[in-house]
Amino acid sequence: MKASLDGSNQSGEKMAAMDELPLVLVHALPPFEISFKGRLQSRFQLIDSLDSTFAPHVSVLLCVGPSPVSSDTLRHLPSLQCIVGSSAGVDHIDLAECRRRGITVTNAGPSFCEDGADFAIGLLIDVLRRISAADRYVRAGLWPMKGDYPLGSKLGGKRVGIVGLGNIGSEIAKRLVAFGCRIAYNSRNKKSSVSFPYYANICNLAANSDILIICCALTKETHHLINKDVMTALGKEGVIINVGRGALINEKELVQCLEQGQIRGAGLDVFENEPDVPKELFELENVVLSPHKAIATPESFASLQELIVGNLEAFFSNKPLLSPVNLE
């Protein structure tokens, strides 16, 4: 935050503008920006996050991408009541401080869940059927030289453990049921509306699964949730798919297990230190890599626009928010 240097007259003009449209503070660190700013400006008075003129009066903050919202950021916003997020994850927001102050938080999970689920299934099929590896085999001219490529494995009938049965996890489950898979799940709490078997212990889920799909939120409790013990329980024929956050998996232990054949393969859209990816993974034919694009399509971004505008309008109309995050 920085003090305004515009002078008292311009400051007064800015304060007068507050009465024209609802005030929204935009928090966006480079390279993240709002592609539909014009649409928002027709409905709201958008304020740059570096302009402290309005800080004491701001009730809503629009957080663009994973721009960090720390306790220090929140300290400069004494009137803040709501943070509207534009990403599926909220690990970049100090949720404990929001809970303490009664600040509500929304995410963009509903906009991204279908495309994220499609991508998770795509990664899974790619790993099981070795599609990307077979593509490289053909392009390298190895088919005439070495003959048929090794067989992959079918998806139907597999036991799939979903870690995090939220928006994306639920959509993944729907798709896997259509493939004839048997679903079980782990989450913070058992869901009364879900008939799939629930495992409170992640190792027990892994021991009863052929595949683990990771799509839960990253928190202090879930950091490195998937470790060597979980991978050992999953077994040598096990496959791990991660479309959540990179730090949900102990990456070093994952690399070791893959190199030593302690699990069968992995499909990874996210990594601990993006955009840096462990170079050991580049050499493994049983690993499919993606640059954190599971949820990104033109359709999902169009839906995101509607969700952000809808959450902002709901807040200023005292109506229920469209995608509130459970802070408990």
Return the H-helix or E-strand segment holding 133.
helix 131-139
User: Distance between CA atoms of 186 and 173, rounded to whole angstroms?
Assistant: 12
205 and 198 in contact (C-beta within 8 Å)?
no
**Other Cβ atoms within 10 Å of 283 Cβ, number:** 8
Which residues are CB-neighbours of 264 under 8 A, at least 6 positions away? 127, 236, 237, 238, 239, 286
- Residues forming beta bridges with residue 241, ordered by sequence position: 213, 267
Is position 245 annotated as part of the catalytic site?
yes
Which residues are CB-neighbours of 290 under 8 A, at least 6 positions away? 119, 123, 267, 268, 269
What DSSP letter does each residue of 118-181 carry, written as one string? HHHHHHHHHHHHTHHHHHHHHHTTHHHHH-SPPP----TT-EEEEE--SHHHHHHHHHHHHTT-
User: Distance between CA atoms of 30 and 9, rounded to whole angstroms?
Assistant: 30
Closest by CA position to 123, among listed 261, 272, 250, 295: 295
Closest by CA position to 175, among listed 190, 155, 192: 155
Is position 92 annotated as part of the catalytic site?
no
The catalytic residue among 27, 130, 245, 264 is 245
Task: Dig out the tokens for 270 from the structure.
Answer: 């996210």
Return the H-helix or E-strand segment holding 86.
none
Terminal Cα distance for the chain, rounded? 29
The catalytic residue among 182, 188, 292, 313 is 292
Q: Helix, strand or coil for residue 57?
A: helix
**307: number of CA atoms within 13 Å, CB side?**
22
Is position 274 annotated as part of the catalytic site?
yes
User: Distance between CA atoms of 171 and 93, rounded to whole angstroms?
Assistant: 25
The catalytic residue among 33, 259, 274, 299 is 274
Catalytic residues: 245, 274, 292
